[in-house]
Amino acid sequence: KPRVLSGIQPTADSFHLGNYLGAVRQWVALQETHDAFYFIADMHAITVEHDPKLLRKRTRVSAAQLLALGLDPARTTLFVQSQVPEHAELGWVMQCLTGFGEAGRMTQFKDKSAKQGTVSVGLFTYPILQAADILVYRPEFVPVGEDQRQHLELTRDLAQRFNTRFGKTFPLPEPYILKDTAKIFDLQEPQAKMSKSASSPGGIVELLDDPKVSAKKIRSAVTDAEREIRYDVENKPGISNLLGIYSALTGRPVDALVADYDGKGYGDLKKDLAEVVAEFTGPVRDQVKSYLDDPAELDKTLAAGAQRAREVAAGTLARVYDRVGFLKG
């Protein structure tokens, strides 16, 4: 089976619809047909100032959400990044292959660092650790949202550079980005991506939000001064975003939705979408609660995943260390 790998940061109390529709939904679908490795990127979560207690809690909440959304640990290798030390070890080798200017061109670093008081070196080198996160499993596909495309390019460049200098070691991983849900937008700022760290609370629909809270956010979503419901990303980004989310959650094509809402108002669309979201998130919330009721069991599932992940990661790292000329231990 071809291998897929992806990760998500435990940087919020809940994932949002962008994380689910842009990434996790594909993860769940791909576990049927692929050898799937998915991880919670806790090492990336410390690139900005953080609270240790909160990180521990959010790592478990993230795992519980991934399980509730349909990842099956019997078929999928689900683990926490810091429990597989080979990520950091390969990360160092990859840092030594990356040009300083090359790292400085990462747009996400520019955006994120502009918002921080002090900027850590870890935030700067984060995409290089991300390249190692991926390459250590030698996957063929990486299912992510559009915002990760540039980091994937860097990963491919580093893999190629390693192969050229030290002999073919890494297949070049392909981004797996579904066009329709590649970017879910902030409800308050429909030109910006919905983001755990950058969006205002009103801009994100969290999976673990109370349905009343989500309904209010959807009701207050920024639209436009027209009345007509139509899909037009450039001129009607707010309405188009709502239609995109609606379509992705129900499987009903956008064109059919536009026809359904012919002659109806924005208020009708928002009210119905709030119901669709509540129907989807209700069972997820219940299941998350039940996973969190037994944190010992959850930790056991993650530890077993880390052990499986290490078997693959250790093999890659041994090969890499040998190729760069380190002595065998």
- Binding region for ligand AQP (CB under 6 A): 8-9, 11, 18-19, 22-23, 108, 112, 144-145, 147-148, 183-184, 193-198
Q: At its nearest, how many Å lie between ligand AQP and the CB of residue 147? A: 5
**Distance in angstroms (rounded) separating the CA atoms of residues 236 and 223:** 7
Question: What torsion do the CA atoms of 139, 141, 145, 148 make, to the nearest 10 degrees?
Answer: 50
For ligand AQP, give the closer residue by CB, 133 or 147: 147
Task: Say which residues have a Cβ less than 8 Å from residue 281's Cβ, sequence separation at least 6.
Answer: 207, 208, 209, 211, 214
Report the residue number, 94 or 144, with the smaller CB distance to ligand AQP: 144
Residue among 112, 183, 217, 236 flagged as catalytic: 112
Active site (annotated) includes residue 57: no
**Could you say which of 183, 196, 217, 270 is catalytic?**
196
Burial 207-226 (b: 16+ CB within 10 A, else e): bbbeeeebbebbeebbbeee
**DSSP label at 166?**
H
CB of 47 to ligand AQP, least distance (A): 9
Q: Which is nearer to ligand AQP, 197 or 200 (CB)?
A: 197
235 is in an annotated binding site: no
- What is the distance of C-alpha 134 from the center of its chain? 13
Give whichever of 3 and 183 is closer to ligand AQP, judged by the CB atom: 183
Catalytic, out of 110, 179, 193, 212: 193
83 within 8 A of 303, measured Cβ to Cβ: yes
99 marked ligand binding residue = no
Burial class (CB in 10 A: 0-12, 13-18, 19+), 100: exposed
- Closest approach, Cβ 62 to ligand AQP, in A, equals 9
Contact status, residue 302 vs residue 239, Cβ threshold 8 Å: no
Is 196 part of the annotated catalytic residue set?
yes
- Residue 194 known to bind ligand: yes
Strand, coil or helix: 210: coil
Q: Is 9 annotated as a binding residue?
A: yes
What are the strands of the beta sheet with 3-8, ordered from one edge?
A: 77-80, 35-40, 3-8, 141-143, 174-176
Least separation in angstroms between CB 153 and ligand AQP: 14
Does the annotation place 181 within a ligand binding site? no
Residue 194 carries which side chain, given as an amino acid letter? M
Minimum distance from residue 210 beta carbon to ligand AQP (Å): 20
CB closer to ligand AQP, 33 vs 197? 197
For the annotated binding site for L-tryptophan, the residues are 133
Active-site residue numbers? Answer: 112, 193, 196
For the annotated binding site for ATP, the residues are 9-11, 18-19, 145-147, 184, 193-197
